Structure 1
């Protein structure tokens, strides 16, 4: 994977939005959008975003359970 292929300036996004959307949906690789040479946003296809959120979800459940366990035990 070459991350340099996944970095585009905001002017590219403005000029070729449809092409960029096709690219990220075909490759499922996020695109870093820069402004004045600095990273400003990440553009990602919906399927990959959903998978990322679902992968993080069990960790959130574990944290809530772990953090809430002392409270639950006190009420028993």
Structure 2
């Protein structure tokens, strides 16, 4: 959730206090909206939060999921389903 009293800042404030602002980003995990002449121009966020957004977008996008699955196949990161099912049967003592 964005806190409009803290998370919307003029670009000059960010520029003049960048170390402090970066520390706040790491601590709060909330993005900072930077303004120029009172209008939003950019958003700064910590790298882990951005990666989480990318991961969420990828999981929500069916085409991206298919692309990742095909890439996994090409890269050999898959196993036959019967092998996985047999492993699960053994692990959880599931009868045939």
Q: TM-score range by the shorter chain?
A: 0.7 to 0.9
Unmatched runs of 5 consecutive residues or more in structure 2 = 67-96
Q: What is the CA-CA distance between 1:5 and the residue it aligns to?
A: 1.4
Q: Which residue of 1 aligns with 2:16?
A: 15
CA distance in 2 between counterparts of 1:4 and 1:57 reads 31
Structure 1 segment 31-42 matched on structure 2, within 5 A:
31-42=32-43
More helix by share: 1
SS at match of 1:49: helix
Aligned mates of 2:55, 2:4 — CA distance in 1: 24
Match in the other structure for 2:87:
none
Q: CA deviation at 1:59?
A: 2.3
Whole-angstrom distance in 1 between the partners of 2:4 and 2:14: 17
Q: Which residue of structure 2 aligns with residue 63 of structure 1?
A: 63
SS in 1 for 2:58: helix
Equivalent residue pairs, number: 64
Shift of 1:14: 1.3
Rg (Cα) greater in structure: 2
TM-score under structure 1 length normalisation: 0.75
Pairwise CA RMSD of aligned residues? 1.5
